[in-house]
Amino acid sequence: MNNRSIEIHPSSSINAICPIPNTELVATGGGNDSLVKLFRLNENEPMLQEVGKEHLNGVNSLDVVFSGEELVSVGGSNVVVWDLVKQCKITNFRSTASAVRDDILGCKILNNSLVASCGTGCHTSLFDLRNSQRNKPVFSLQMGRDSLTCIDYDDAGRNAMTVVSLDGNCYTVDFRKKELITDRMGHGSILYVKSYSEAKNVLTFDDGNVRIGSLGSIDEGMMFKISDTSLSYRINADLVSDYYSSLEHLFSGTEKGQVSMWTIDSKNNKECSFKTLSTQKTRKSRDEDIIGVVKFLAHSNRLVASSATGYLHIWDNFF
């Protein structure tokens, strides 16, 4: 394994990372510069291209359709759809009426035809990717008493969409049963969610802990500490299966310029090992660098992580 750091967004943070399926490319979203870019991870053929700039207040989240041809970026009150083949904007959706202020924090593509968004306006909206002429949501649902920070969709299991909030609750829209389920976590504000199945969800809380388990009984699952103090930034986590065993690996960003990694036996709620991954020193390195987004790319055996200093940290040949 070797690691490297590439400056992708000079004078800006990286707020979002989105691997493009079956390619060596990752899309990145900038904070201060509000740019969407594409970077080729291949060390022998690196490539950096600017896709475009449509957001005024930074790019908060990215997602891509299964084919890899269309990318969605969100930030401010805009949901922007990009054509990655032609490298141009397809359409620009607005999350709310112009009289309502909103900063969209999360997005998720559902079954390649709908994109869901959530944010500070305490509502979740659905947009139809097949109708680029309609710039308003086809559906909007009010939920929560504080900002909605992240959204995920479990299409392999119960066909449900989960949204988490700073009010400490998880809101799950079950499309099959046509109902909204509220789970009260009781551990403070929730910054991130990733749903792998109904029984396995990964959540980051502002108390500095990552928890894995069922939304209805999160205290019965596993807990991992990523900070001794409350988190000030949205930190995500990624759970991946081991290539050679039934174990799993949990990766998490930190506010101390490192990536935390646990090897776990989730069937028995057992932590097998823990280590930290240090990033390569750069000309803008600092102890308090924020590693907000961590993604493991199974098809290329790479780990990538964002940086508040505009660098993309890469670990090649990870396992």
| Domain locations in the chain as residue ranges | 11-238
CATH, range 11-238: 2.130.10.10
pLDDT band for position 176 (50/70/90)? confident
The predicted pLDDT at position 285 comes to: 61
What's the whole-model pTM score? 0.95
pLDDT band at residue 266 using 50, 70 and 90 as cut-offs: confident
Please tell me which residue, 286 or 216, carries the higher pLDDT value: 216
Strand-pairing partners, residue 194, are: 202
DSSP 83: E
Share of the chain above pLDDT 90, in %: 82
Q: Say how many Å lie between the first and final Cα of the chain, rounded.
A: 7
pLDDT of residue 100 exceeding 70: no
Beta carbons of 276 and 253 less than 8 angstroms apart: no
Q: How far apart are CA 292 and CA 87, in angstroms?
A: 26
What's the pLDDT band for 284 if we cut at 50, 70, 90? low
In three-state secondary structure terms, 267 is helix
Q: What is the pLDDT of residue 96?
A: 67
Confidence of residue 102 (pLDDT cuts 50, 70, 90): confident
pLDDT digits (tens, 9 = 90+) for 205-257: 999 999 999 999 999 999 999 999 999 999 999 999 998 999 999 999 999 99
Q: What are 151's strand-pairing partners?
A: 163
Compute the mean pLDDT over every residue in the chain, rounded to the nearest whole number. 93
What is the predicted pLDDT for the residue at 157? 66
CA distance 254 to 259: 6
Residue whose entry in the numeric block shows the structure tokens 């036996």: 265
- pLDDT digits 0-9 by tens, 160-169: 999 999 999 9
CA distances from 43 to 23, 29, 51, 302, 314 (A): 14, 21, 21, 12, 10
User: Phi then psi for 245, rounded to 5 degrees?
Assistant: -150, -175
pLDDT for 101 equals 72
pLDDT, tens digit (0-9, with 9 covering 90-100), for 108-141 = 999 888 999 999 999 999 999 998 888 899 999 9
Whole-number pLDDT of residue 112: 84
| Average pLDDT of the residues in 154-161 | 80
3-state class percentages of the chain: helix first, strand second, coil last, to nearest 5: 5, 50, 45
Is the pLDDT score of 98 beyond 60?
A: no
Mean predicted confidence (pLDDT) in 14-26: 97
Burial class (CB in 10 A: 0-12, 13-18, 19+), 187: middle
Beta bridge partners of 71: 64, 82
What are the Cα distances from residue 182, in Å, to 57, 206, 256? Answer: 30, 19, 33
Mean pLDDT of 54-67: 95
